[in-house]
Amino acid sequence: MDKRFYITTAIDYVNGQPHLGHAYEKIIADVIARSHRLLGEEVFFLTGLDEHGQKVQQVALSEGKEPQAYCDELAQSWRALWTKLGLTNDDFVRTTEQRHKQVVQALLAKLHREGHFYKAQYEGFYSAKEETFLTDKDRNPDGSFDSSWGEVIRLKEENYYFKLKEHQPWLIDYIEKNPDFVQPSYRRNEVLGFLKNNTLEDLCITRPASRLNWGISIPFDTSYVTYVWFDALVNYISIPAAHRDPALADAIDFQPSTLNSQLSLWPADLHVIGKDILKFHSVYWPIMLKAAGLPLPKQLLVHGFWQKDNAKISKTTGNIVDPVAIIDEWGIDAFRFYVLRELDIGPDGNWTDAGFAARYQAELANGLGNLVNRSLSMLKRYRNGVLPAASTELKQAADEAARKVEASLRANELQAALVQIWELITRANQYVDQTAPFKLAKDPAQTQRLDEVLYNLCEICRVLAVLLSAFLPNTSARIYEQLALGALPQTFSATQWGGLKARDAIGEPAPLFPRKDLAKSS
C-alpha cells in the first residue's frame, strides 16, 4: 500500500455562511490536489467543518435551534457550495461525527495516561466572544482590552493544561533544520521569532461542561469538554484513523467502527491554512503529535487574508463577497481564476468588483476565450473543421511553458503557473496577428502555410486545456469537447506536442467566456 499525497485545509467554523476567504483556501487546496493527481500521484484531499465551541452554540441558540440541528442544516449548504466550486475532496470531516470524537478521546486518554496534562486553577480575564483567557500582553497601551475581545470578565476556574515548555527547544531546532516546514519563508521566520522570544505558556485544553457543553467530553473527567483547538486540529489524524491508516492505529489505540478500505495517509504532506491560525499549526499541533509519538506534517502552506475595497470582510458591516452570487453571474472557473491569479499565496489581497471584471474581460474573454474561439472557427471556415498535417512551429513555446508550469505546480506557486500559461496564450494570439490566416485564406499559393498555422493554433488550444485543467477544469473540458477529443486526459504528460492528429475533425466552437457589458455589471 503506497502512501498517498495527503492534503488538508483548515476546517471552517460553521457559525455562518462561507465567504471569500473560506472559498479561496479551498480552491488553493483543490488546485494543488488536482495538480498532484495530474503529475501521477495518488492523492487524498480532506476538508470539512469545525462544529463545536461557544461561538457555534451561541449562534444556534440565538436562532432557537439545538446546536446539532443547526450544524446539520449549515453543513448541507457548505457542502453544496464546495460542490459548486468543483472541489475534488476525497472526504469531508465534521467534528461532531462519531469517527472524529472517538479519536479525540483516544488521544486525550493516551496523553493523560502518559502524564502530559495537569489540573490547575486559573484566575484572570476571559473573553467569552473569543473563548479565550487573556493576559497583560493582550491589553492596549492604556491598559484596556480591545473591543474585538467583546465583553471581558474576571473568571476563576479549574481546568486541565497541556505541558508545553519542555517541547520548546526541539521545536525551534526542528523548524530551523527544516526550512520548508512553513511556507512562505517570512511566515517561518515569524514562528521562529515567536518561539525564540517567548516562553511557551501551557495550553488550556478544557472548559467546564457546566459553562460550555457543546464539545467533546473529556474521557478521564466528564465534568469537562475539550477546548476547540484540541478538538479541531485532531481532524487531520481522525479521518486517516477512520480509514484505518496503519501509521495511526498503533499510536492511538483506536479501532474504527466502520470498515473502510485501508489507506496510508499520515503524515500529511500539506496543511493549507490562513495566517491567523499559524501559531496553532506550527506550535501546538507539532507538540501534540510529538507527545503522541506521531510524525509531524511535512509542510504548512500559509495564505494571506482577503479584504474587499480595502476594508475588512465583515458580515456586520455588510462588506462581503458572496461566492455564490459571483459564480452565478460569472461562472465557477472565472471565480477560481480570479482568486488565484490576483493573489499570490502569502500576502494579503484586496477584492474589487471592477478588478474582477477587468481580469475577466482581458484575460479570460479576450485572452483565452478569443484564442480558442478564433482558432477553432478558422479551422471550421477554411478547412471544414478537419485538421491538416501536424506542424511544430509553436512546439518549442508549448514545451517550454509546460516545463515551467510543472515546476511551479510542484513548488505550490499557483499564481506563477497562471502567469506562465498566460504568456503562452499571449504568444499564440500574437502568432494569429503575425501569420494573419484570414489573409492566407485568400491566396491559393498559401494553402500549405495556412494548414501549418491552423494546426499550430488548434494544438496550442489542446495543450492549454491540459495546462489549465487543475485551475479551470470546466473550461478545459469544454476545450476538449470543442476539439471533439472526448474526456480530458488525467495526466500532465498529455501536454506533449502532437496530440491532435491529421484528419481529426473538431466539434462546434462556442465562446468559453461570453463578453459582458461592463457598465452593467460593475
Q: Minimum CB separation from ligand ME8 for residue 50, in Å?
A: 4
Place of cell 525564540: 196
Instruction: Select the residue interacting with ligand ME8 from 7, 11, 175, 398 (CB under 6 A).
Output: 11
Nearest Cα to Cα of residue 23 among 413, 340, 419, 282: 340
Among 5, 6, 7, 21, binds ligand ME8 (CB under 6 A): 21
Grid coordinates representing 307? 479584504
By CB under 6 A, is residue 75 in contact with ligand ME8? no
Nearer to ligand ME8, 50 or 245 (CB): 50
> Looking only at residues 380 through 439 of this chain, which bind ligand ME8 when binding is defined by CB under 6 A?
none
Q: Which is nearer to ligand ME8, 23 or 461 (CB)?
A: 23
Q: How far is the CB of 504 from ligand ME8 (least distance, A)?
A: 44
Give the binding range for ligand ME8 (CB under 6 A) out of 21-29, 107-115, 209-217, 503-511: 21-29
Q: How far is the CB of 273 from ligand ME8 (least distance, A)?
A: 5
Query: In the set 254, 266, 284, 306, which binds ligand ME8 (CB under 6 A)?
Result: 306
Shortest CB 346 distance to ligand ME8, Å:
12
Q: Residue 7's beta-bridge partner residues?
A: 45, 270
Tell me whether residue 22 or residue 383 sits nearer to ligand ME8 (CB atom): 22
Can you tell me the distance from the alpha carbon of 285 to that of 298, in angstroms, rounded to the nearest whole number? 12
Grid cell at residue 354: 471592477
Q: Which long-range contacts (CB under 8 A, 24 or more apart) does 428-436 make?
A: 428/371, 428/375, 428/394, 428/397, 428/457, 428/460, 428/464, 429/367, 429/370, 429/371, 431/393, 431/394, 431/456, 431/457, 431/460, 432/371, 432/374, 432/375, 432/457
Nine cell digits for residue 217: 467530553
- Rounded Cα distance between 520 and 66, Å, is 43
CB of 53 to ligand ME8, least distance (A): 8
Taking CB under 6 A as the criterion, the residue among 128, 209, 249, 313 binding ligand ME8 is 313
Which amino acid belongs to residue 362? A
In sequence order, what are the beta bridge partners of 159? 120
**Cα R_g (the chain), whole angstroms:** 26
CA atoms of 372 and 465, how far apart (whole Å): 10
- Nearest approach in angstroms of CB 75 to ligand ME8 is 13
Interface pick for ligand ME8 out of 4, 6, 23, 24 (rule CB under 6 A): 24
Which residues ranging from 476 to 515 are in contact with ligand ME8 (CB under 6 A)?
none
**Angle at Cα 275 formed by Cα 271 and Cα 277, nearest 5°?**
70
The CA distance from 348 to 40, in Å, is 32
451 binds ligand ME8 (CB under 6 A): no
Exposure pattern of 266-284 as b/e (b: 16+ CB <10 Å)? bbbbbbbbbeebbebbbbb
50 lies in the binding site for ligand ME8 (CB under 6 A): yes
Distance, first Cα to last Cα, the chain: 53
Of residues 206 through 235, those in contact with ligand ME8 by CB under 6 A are 232-233
Q: Residue-wise over 118-155: b if at least 16 C-beta within 10 A, else e?
A: eeeeeeebbbbeebebbeeeeeeeeeeeeeebeebeee
Cβ-closest residue to ligand ME8? Answer: 274
> Does 300 sit near ligand ME8 (CB under 6 A)?
no
Residues 358-377 that bind ligand ME8 (CB under 6 A): none
Residues 264-283 within binding reach of ligand ME8 (CB under 6 A): 273-274, 276-277
Least CB distance to ligand ME8 at residue 416 (A)? 20
Closer to ligand ME8 by Cβ: residue 297 or 499: 297
* Cα–Cα distance measured from residue 386 to residue 231, given in angstroms and rounded to the nearest whole number: 59
Select from 22-30, 256-264, 372-380, 508-516 the region that touches ligand ME8 (CB under 6 A): 22-30
The nearest distance, CB 195 to ligand ME8, in angstroms, is: 20
Does the footprint of ligand ME8 cover residue 12 (CB under 6 A)? yes
User: Of 8-16, 30-38, 218-226, 419-427, which part binds ligand ME8 (CB under 6 A)?
Assistant: 8-16
How many amino acids of this chain bind ligand ME8 (CB under 6 A)?
Answer: 18
Cα dist. 509→285, 448, 487 in Å? 51, 23, 17
Q: Does 13 bind ligand ME8 (CB under 6 A)?
A: yes
Query: Which stretches of the chain bind ligand ME8, using CB under 6 A?
Result: 10-13, 21-22, 24-25, 50, 232-233, 273-274, 276-277, 305-306, 313
